[in-house]
Structure 1
Amino acid sequence: MSNITLFSQIIKKIDRSIFKKLVNEKQTDKGCKGFDSWTHLVSMLFCHFAKSTSVRDISNGLRSATGNLNHLGISKAPSKSSISYQNKRRDSDLFKELYYSLLKSLGQQASLKRVKLKIKVPVYLLDATVISLCLSMFDWAKFRTQKGAVKIHTLLDYDGKLPVYVNITEGSVADNKGAYNIPLEKGSVIVADRYYNDFPMLNVWDSKEVFFVIRHKENLSYKSIKERELPENTAQHILKDEEIELANPISKNKYPGKIRRVVVWDEDNEQTIELITNNFKWAAQTIGDLYKSRWEIEVFFRDIKQLLHIKTFIGTSKNAVMIQIWTALITILLLKVMKAVAKYRWHLSNLVAFIRLNIFVKIELQKWLDRPFEEHKKPPKNKSQGVLFPEYL
């Protein structure tokens, strides 16, 4: 049995030296009175792990852990007003930089051995998700005439299923516009949906020797240059494999090079999927499998929305929303690391639920992750009651 709570052990996975360095760089503790950056981080992580719905829930929840707060590195539970004030005031970039720092130090633990995709190059999945907001309360989050929203533009690592780049914008920013500054790794491949048919952007990727697999729009104007042979006995779902060039003069000026076009039959949804890529070496089936892998980013978006506190916000300022989203990403990183090191085959939803139920229980974290349902020990066989005075028998 451990002497510290489950939540305390999870928090200890965050390297305090990394966090202190970021605090010193950002000067986020300058002028604070008691509610320092570390207490702020712990409070927001508690918000996600306990799925607290308000600053009152966070304050009361941490206050209920009296006697265990010192293990979390905080002296006392923060008040509602302190959380609200610092969510509005403290620079959200602190939590953004912490996420990327933790991704470098912990992200490798969450990576899985690649099974389905046979290529060895890094694979990244690109997409965006919208979180709706009330425009009257979040007046900075422009989306539509009477609606507000933020959009999370995400580049997801296929192996670790964790974002390597996140750009949080107003909901009105187009998907392709939010992807202009994504990091480009030479030799890697980026997989995306039709909303990223941005030929100037794709031309930049091609010039940086980055491969792309994009679902093209139905109205794409092109001219076929060469038909490529289709496999005879395998990959019968590949309907077409050809080399094309853009026919529209404006588009061709934006992307003058050749493009490979692969048409795949999606048996599950009974539809054809038309893909474009700048890779002419991989098998057509590999191109189709790459696009099929894009579903993993949809799973990631579903997880952060359903399992963490991210669909509603405890503050209305832009900074407060940013802090809540970045701390949600830190939470999902910690969860995936725990899931990866556990011997028990956790579903992420079950892991989140069980942590919530046992958040202040004193259990050894690794043993609990490996054996969440402790087996009852069977009594020894032929055990008989001892005789008090055997010499009189």
Structure 2
Amino acid sequence: QFVSMLFCQLGRAHSLREITGGLRSCEGKLTHLGITVPSRSTLAYANEHRPWQLYQKVFLNLLEQCRGKFSGKKKFRFKNKLVSLDSSTIDLSLSLFDWAKFRRTKGAVKLHLILDHDGYLPSFAIITEGNVSDVKVAHQLSFDPGTVVVDDRGYNDYALFGKWTAQGIYFVTRMKNNTLYEVIKEQEFPKNGHILKDKIIRLTGTKADEKCPYPLRRIEMYDPEKDEILVFLTNNMKFAATTIAAIYKDRWQIELFFKALKQNLKIKTFVGTSANAVKIQIWTALISMLILKYLQLKSLFAWSLSNLVALLRMNLFTHRDIWAWLDKPFEIPPVPYEQKQLNLNFT
């Protein structure tokens, strides 16, 4: 089942028939794995009944092996761990996925993700129904003290801000326009950059004193690329205002991760309709992404992820040294056997 679903991701198979048919056409090359091609009914039954938690464990084990191998030169000087928190909604047809009701006529599931900026790999993922709020999931997460969590305005919640501040967890987010606050102190900031204001504030909204009794920091910055003013909210009082702005800008990496996941792997259409089958397919997509990121990082050739996926898709059952091929993809491979056929010389 695992090999079949991995083939579904890397081969972009659209149905169980395509998965089993594609594997059957190369059945002789699967013998070294000690497996046979499952029938459509067998694969459908496995997707519906084999616990998706098995694939989650495979993902976590693979992630543990990848840790340390992806860390490179850090973008920021501070030693705090930097992570981004976000979610992506995956639309489903309510007529086929009646368990995934999101709106009156629409179905969906949500993939909630924590992206570690040391290597830009997911360090945690959870799949929920589409109507589960981002804040509810955020309250269930735990981070080490000193961690910097970057998220968007969907995570603006006074109780969450207070909880993280009490635990020694830093956050950087966009501030909602209707947030009520009072200014405690005006801070100094460089006048020759894009920072417009740097203030220490206290939230004054409904029950704000109970939920978040701590002072926070409000930073205004002019973004010349978008020609707009951005307002950041953080509980970190030590970092420079420009560093806070740069941290939030780096949150774009989690958006790029979701985009790459949806463009290069198969999580927008599904080969099974049960909740278990959908979760298995999403987890195999995340496993595939870890494998692709590892190959991309270790290869000497400057692969873009889309090109790497495309060439792997066309050579899934080609027998070659993987690293020799990835390092020099356009080098003519050695002839696997001696040419014994005589040449026909026409004179």
Q: Do the aligned residues in 1 keep the contact of 2:199 with 2:219 (CA within 8 Å)?
A: yes
1:245 paired with 2:202, answer: yes
Partner in structure 1 of residue 124 of structure 2: 165
Partner in structure 2 of residue 216 of structure 1: 175
Partner in structure 2 of residue 84 of structure 1: 44
Structure 1 residues 363 and 199, CA gap change in structure 2 (3 angstroms): same
Greater Cα shift, 301-310 or 169-178: 169-178
Partner in structure 1 of residue 103 of structure 2: 144
Q: Do the aligned residues in 1 keep the contact of 2:165 with 2:214 (CA within 8 Å)?
A: no
Deviations 1:346-376 (A, max 9, x none): 0000000000011111110011111111169
Deviation of 1:63 (Å) = 0.9
The higher radius of gyration belongs to 1
SS at match of 2:284: helix
Deviation of 1:109 (Å) = 2.2
Partner in structure 1 of residue 90 of structure 2: 131
Deviations 1:296-351 (A, max 9, x none): 00000001101001100000000000000001000000000001100001000000
Distance 2:66 2:34 in 1: 21
Matches within 5 A, 1:58-69: 58-69=19-30
Partner in structure 1 of residue 65 of structure 2: 105
Distance 2:218 2:296 in 1: 38
Distance 1:169 1:147 in 2: 15
For these two proteins, the number of residue pairs brought into alignment is: 334
Out of 345, 363, 370, the position equivalent to 2:302 is 345
Partner in structure 2 of residue 258 of structure 1: 215
SS at match of 1:111: coil
Distance 1:49 1:249 in 2: 50
Distance 1:191 1:140 in 2: 32
Identity, % of aligned pairs? Answer: 46
Matches within 5 A, 1:24-39: none
Partner in structure 2 of residue 17 of structure 1: none
Q: Do the aligned residues in 1 keep the contact of 2:188 with 2:198 (CA within 8 Å)?
A: yes
Partner in structure 2 of residue 29 of structure 1: none
Out of 306, 309, 316, the position equivalent to 2:263 is 306
Deviation of 1:110 (Å) = 2.9
Partner in structure 2 of residue 231 of structure 1: 190
- Structure 2 counterpart of 1:297, one-letter code: I
Distance 2:67 2:26 in 1: 30
SS at match of 1:229: coil
Q: Do the aligned residues in 2 keep the contact of 1:169 with 1:178 (CA within 8 Å)?
A: no
Distance 2:21 2:228 in 1: 52
1:153 paired with 2:153, answer: no
- Structure 2 counterpart of 1:323, one-letter code: I
Q: Do the aligned residues in 2 keep the contact of 1:153 with 1:179 (CA within 8 Å)?
A: no
SS at match of 2:188: coil
Q: Do the aligned residues in 2 keep the contact of 1:107 with 1:333 (CA within 8 Å)?
A: no
Distance 2:224 2:113 in 1: 28
Out of 318, 321, 326, the position equivalent to 2:275 is 318
SS at match of 2:69: helix
Distance 2:154 2:56 in 1: 26
Deviation of 1:207 (Å) = 1.5
Deviation of 1:60 (Å) = 0.9
Distance 1:165 1:311 in 2: 20
1:366 paired with 2:323, answer: yes
Structure 1's consecutive aligned runs of 4 or more residues displaced over 3 angstroms after TM superposition are: none
Which structure has more relative contact order (CA 8 Å, sep 6+)? It is: 1
- Structure 1 counterpart of 2:300, one-letter code: K
Stretches of structure 1 that go unaligned for 5 or more consecutive residues are 1-39, 378-393
- Structure 2 counterpart of 1:97, one-letter code: K
Matches within 5 A, 1:260-299: 260-299=217-256
Deviation of 1:249 (Å) = 4.3
Distance 1:120 1:56 in 2: 50
Q: Do the aligned residues in 1 keep the contact of 2:198 with 2:220 (CA within 8 Å)?
A: yes
SS at match of 1:302: helix
Q: Do the aligned residues in 2 keep the contact of 1:107 with 1:337 (CA within 8 Å)?
A: no
Q: TM-score, normalising length from structure 1?
A: 0.83
